[in-house]
Amino acid sequence: MENFTPYSAFFGGSLIGLSAALLLYFNGRIAGISGIISGAFNVKDNDRYWRLFFLGGLILSAALFNHFFQTVSVNYSRSTILLIISGVLVGYGTRLGNGCTSGHAVCGLARFSKRSAAATVTFMVAAMLTVYVTRHLLGILQ
């Protein structure tokens, strides 16, 4: 557990919670990222511009923070085929299941939604099993 960072994790998490609270306070919307992404590109929806602004703000602030404060470089190296398979699964699964980590595990749980609790437990277990199988049983994807 030498990489455990409880303070920055808790502080960063609080900012995520504050962001979701303010989005609800101002716009009455849920800060579920997968829903915001798919809605932002739904051209039939006239009320989609707030979503584009949200996504723009997210990318911009992360870029500024990394530019000024990032000290360690993150290792993203993964094989092309793995990135494609994983991305398609995440995109498809979050639409079918109506939400991802932010929509279910943060916004849904904060509202004590039974559906979000079920989804959160399910995707956490599925993800942990995936890591167990790939890392420890098959010994790949270290």
Partner 1 sequence: MTKNLASLFCGALFGLGLTISQMSNPDKVLAFLDVTGNWDPSLMFVMAGALITLATAQHFILKRQQPICDTKFYLPKTNLPIDKRLILGAIIFGIGWGLVGFCPGAVLAALSDSKFEPFLFTLALGAGMMLFSCFDNKK
15-44: which residues touch partner 1 (CB under 8 A)? Answer: 15-31, 33-34, 37-38, 41
Minimum distance, C-beta of residue 44 to partner 1, in the bound complex (Å):
11
Member of 43, 44, 46, 114 binding partner 1 (CB under 8 A): 114
Member of 46, 71, 111, 139 binding partner 1 (CB under 8 A): 111
**Rounded to whole angstroms, how far apart are CA atoms 122 and 116?**
10
Member of 11, 44, 45, 139 binding partner 1 (CB under 8 A): 11
Q: What stretches of 97-139 show up as alpha helix (H) in DSSP?
A: 109-110, 114-131
Q: Give the number of residues in contact with partner 1, rule: CB under 8 A.
A: 107
Strands (E), 53-140: none
Residue 48 binds to partner 1 (criterion: CB under 8 A): no
Cα dihedral 91, 75, 121, 5, rounded to 10, equals -140
Backbone angle region of 117, left / alpha / beta, with phi > 0 → left and psi within -120 to 50 → alpha: alpha
Residues 76-95 that bind partner 1 (CB under 8 A): 76-78, 80, 82-95
